[in-house]
Copies of this chain bind each other. A is one copy, B any other.
Amino acid sequence: MYRSHTCGELRIADVGSSVTLSGWVQATRNFGGLTFVDLRDRYGITQLVFDQEEQPELADQANKLGREFVINAEGVVRERSNKNPNRATGDVEIEVLRFGILNASKTPPFTIEDETDGGDELRMKYRYMDIRRNPVKENLIFRSNLSLQTRIFLNQQGFVEVETPNLIKSTPEGARDFVVPSRMNPGQFYALPQSPQTFKQILMVGGMDKYFQIVKCFRDEDLRADRQPEFTQIDCEMAFVTQEDILNTFEGLTRHLFKHTLDRELGDFPRMSYDEALRRYGSDKPDLRFDMEFVDLNEEAKGKGFVVFDNSELVVGITLKGHADSYSNKDIKKLTEWMQRPQIGAKGLVYVKYLADGVKSSVGKFFDDETLNSWKDKLGAEVGDIVFILSGEEEKTRKQLSELRLEMGRKHELIKDGDFKPLWVIDFPLLEWDEESNRFHAMHHPFTAPKKDDQHRMLNGDHETMKSLRADAYDLVINGAEIGGGSIRIHDRQLQSKNFDLLGFTKEEAEEQFGFLMGAFEYGAPPHGGIAFGFDRLCAVMNGQASIRDFIAFPKNNQGKDMMIDAPSHIDTTQLNELSLAVEIEEKKD
């Protein structure tokens, strides 16, 4: 037996018990007469004591223990004279009577502490030591709890978890597939699923009624920060439902998860149309933890002789409360430069400060104080506030101002710690016209249904009509992060076929890639819809963390590499031959 108790378990009531513990040496402290060893496992840290006088041999051995040695120790629990109130086991210590080294350890390449001195690369290479650290360990345990609670709730609601296949068919639409050569079918390939979308729809056609799955998905994208080639979804689908049913069900799931993992009751789940979200916050995933709503100043600011505004499609502002004095000319200059970076691309930044001794503004030359003061009401501004104004092409300007709004939220700590603001964004456009490729793109995906009232228009309308179609699609946004997205699906062959047409599929392409689905629609497909939650992101948002990486046990780096196992790697020629493949690396042209 390696242990009678864990290292997080013993309390004052256990004093006098004989116990055996196993774990890792967190630290040893030699005070001459006494040696203390902090023994750590997943559950906590317990102090071991060795008395040089009473057990000289044991104490000598203990003094030789290095960090991260794995030992087990037998002894008797006793009360500590010097209690540690910051540790659950801090009232007791173990007077060790016997101990053994289960495994030695080289000196770890970084400290196994909450705040480590290991950089990202070292941590990933030695992930097994990184996981011993509390923050990573707790994240992984949180993730496990969250998945269990997801399953418990959905099961209670009658959902069936069905595993869909990982070796499926490649479909060029959307992101790039990872493919898997088939040895038994030379020259042919499986693809790894970007999502189980078609399979869950097939399950609805199969009468499964309520499906879910917590499932790995794969996308071969050029990795931007915080993207992973494999990621996890809570994937759900329901039959015989309207958007209303789905929103209610998954508001329920979200409430359950917050309640049963964080013990938090969430407030309202307001709903906002896509258009409204863009108008009020310049984003389809607005962070509602703070205000700073957009105020349209076209009427007030255009036609007053300031040519920049006059030539703009939109003049729009936000009010930062109580910070009129926080921005010197130098600060404004810095902020303007920040807004002008290519990532944001604003042309300039106009400010208006409402000060006790008057108004100050970068457009003071063009607008007199009276005019500027007249904007206050509409802006909700008072003395002491500063207003930022952008102008230009409508869509771009809103996006730029959204970035500024978020920056202000972060910079001025407008966000209450531990606050959660959920929001359903609804009524998305069905299709986006892409000037570059001269075709429509699906705003959500090709299986999303237009709103019922728009179906006739979709089947019979002209090109311009298509731009105005609304989808029965919805996103769940929490704290400005898109947590989930879904839609009511098309369940009619004709409508699906029309959608593929609009998206630029030839009949043959549509048939080859999605013929099975359109075929299924001819054999009794019920109305259905669903949603998928980004599980990694949900974990991070619920814990107020910006990165998903430490909620994934073994993440890959930005080159898609696993630094610990050193994957991907070259494979044998034999393997390639069996797969009827040859590697042909082209020289990169400059």
Contact = CB atoms under 8 A, between A and B. Distances in A.
A181 B179 contact: yes
With a 10 A CB-CB cut-off, give which of A24, A69, A180, A561 has the most chain B CB atoms.
A180
29 contacts: A41-B207, A42-B209, A70-B525, A103-B526, A104-B524, A105-B524, A108-B524, A127-B206, A131-B208, A141-B160, A148-B161, A163-B232, A165-B553, A166-B166, A168-B565, A172-B572, A172-B575, A177-B575, A179-B571, A182-B568, A183-B220, A185-B559, A188-B568, A198-B565, A203-B553, A516-B564, A581-B581, A581-B583, A582-B582
Contact of A525 (B103, B178, B577, B583): B103
A22 to B, nearest CB: 5
Nearest to A567: B169
B164 A147 contact: no
B105 A523 contact: yes
Interface in A447-479: none
B106 A184 contact: no
A188 B560 CA distance: 11
Contacts of A584: 580-582
A521 interface: yes
Contact of A229 (B1, B42, B167): B167
Interface string A569-590: 1111001011111111110000
A26 to B, nearest CB: 11
Interface string A115-129: 000000000001111
With a 10 A CB-CB cut-off, give which of A190, A491, A525, A564 has the most chain B CB atoms.
A190
Contacts of A419: none
Interface string A1-39: 111000000000000000000101000000000000000
A585 B187 contact: yes
A562 interface: yes
Interface in A193-211: 198-199, 202-203, 205-209
Contacts of A141: 160
A492 B103 CA distance: 8
Contacts of A570: 187-189
Nearest to A186: B585
Contacts of A181: 179, 181
A445 to B, nearest CB: 17
Contacts of A186: 583, 585
A523 B179 contact: no
Interface in A121-175: 126-132, 137, 140-141, 143-144, 147-148, 151-152, 155, 160-170, 172
A366 interface: no
B178 A167 contact: yes
Contact of A206 (B129, B199, B208): B129
B585 A128 contact: no
A203 B137 CA distance: 10
A522 interface: yes
A41 B527 CA distance: 13
B170 A1 contact: no
Given A102-B527, A176-B183, A581-B584, A216 B132 contact: no
A552 B165 CA distance: 9
Nearest to A192: B180
B525 A203 contact: no
B516 A565 contact: yes
Given A143-B163, A168-B567, 10 more contacts: A1-B242, A24-B524, A40-B207, A103-B526, A108-B524, A127-B206, A166-B230, A169-B566, A177-B575, A581-B584
Contact of A569 (B104, B137, B161, B169): B169
With a 10 A CB-CB cut-off, give which of A108, A207, A565 has the most chain B CB atoms.
A207
Contacts of A223: 184
B521 A103 contact: yes
A184 to B, nearest CB: 5
A482 to B, nearest CB: 21
B580 A580 contact: no
Contacts of A70: 524-526
Contacts of A1: 242
A405 to B, nearest CB: 35
A186 B431 CA distance: 35
B144 A162 contact: yes
A556 interface: yes
A306 interface: no
Nearest to A578: B176
Interface in A75-129: 102-106, 108, 126-129
Nearest to A199: B554
A176 to B, nearest CB: 7
> 3 closest Cβ contacts across the A-B interface?
A131-B206, A105-B524, A2-B240
Contacts of A525: 70, 103
A148 B147 CA distance: 11
A222 interface: yes
B163 A552 contact: yes
A68 interface: yes
A481 interface: no
Contact of A580 (B106, B526, B575, B585): B585
A355 interface: no
A241 interface: yes
B580 A581 contact: no
With a 10 A CB-CB cut-off, give which of A105, A179, A582 has the most chain B CB atoms.
A179
